[in-house]
Amino acid sequence: MKKKYLIAGTVAVIAVIAAVVLLLLNNSNNNSELRIQNSELNAENVSTAVPSTDIKEVPVLTAEPENTEVPAAEEKKEETVKETAEAEEKDQPFLVQITDDDPSIAYVLVRMPNPIGLLPLPLEGEYSKTIRTKLADGSEYINVLHITPNGFNMVDANCEGHDCMGQGEVTLENRENRIMWNMIICLPHQLSAELITREEAEQMLAH
């Protein structure tokens, strides 16, 4: 009986030892697999972190020297602006009275909408008069009259439509036969210009 218990106990101990050994082996295998997987992951990370040695050469762009010469069109534009500025400096002022030494035979009366002054017709040559009206928002109305010894016309304006520029020339010969008589009118700017004789101007100023 004692032998049977001894044998059974020995078998049980061997079975336990075998089970423990198997568990240890399984754990060892699992750890090895984990270590292998970690090594593979680290290897992948290292391979992506290492910069590629296949570097293409970037062409070097050399900046061309700037052309310091001013184009002819720009020079012409600057000259035109300069000439315009000089002309405005010498611009004919509006007359508010006629003196005895004034040789003019006719005038352009400008109203906006009230009379603001007279521009004499020159005995010879011609000139332009730029009329500017500044607005509250900082912009301005601009009208340019071209005046000759025989009459005048509107050569430039920043109104919409530019109808005033298409009204032709008013002369001493046609001022009574034109559709608009002796006047050119810029409705958007509330500006009118009339060709009047010296006698008409003196009568107007006398009142």
Alpha helices in 50-188 (DSSP H): 72-89
**Is residue 8 within 8 Å of residue 14, measured between CB atoms?**
no
Q: Cβ contacts of residue 85 below 8 Å, gap of 6+?
A: none
C-alpha span between 187 and 54 (Å, rounded): 74
pTM of this prediction? 0.58
Question: Domain boundaries in the chain?
Answer: 1-48, 93-206
Neighbours of 133 (CB within 10 A): 14
pLDDT tens across the length of the chain (207 residues): 555 555 655 656 566 565 555 555 555 554 444 454 444 444 444 444 444 444 445 444 444 555 556 566 666 556 654 554 455 446 799 999 999 999 999 999 999 989 999 999 999 999 999 999 999 999 999 999 999 999 999 999 999 999 999 999 999 999 999 999 999 999 999 999 999 999 999 999 998
Q: Are 88 and 76 in contact (CB under 8 A)?
A: no
Show the CA angle centred on residue 188, arms to residues 186 and 192, nearest 5°: 30
Q: How far apart are CA 156 and CA 144, in angstroms?
A: 5
CATH superfamily of 93-206: N-utilization substance G protein NusG, insert domain (2.60.320.10)
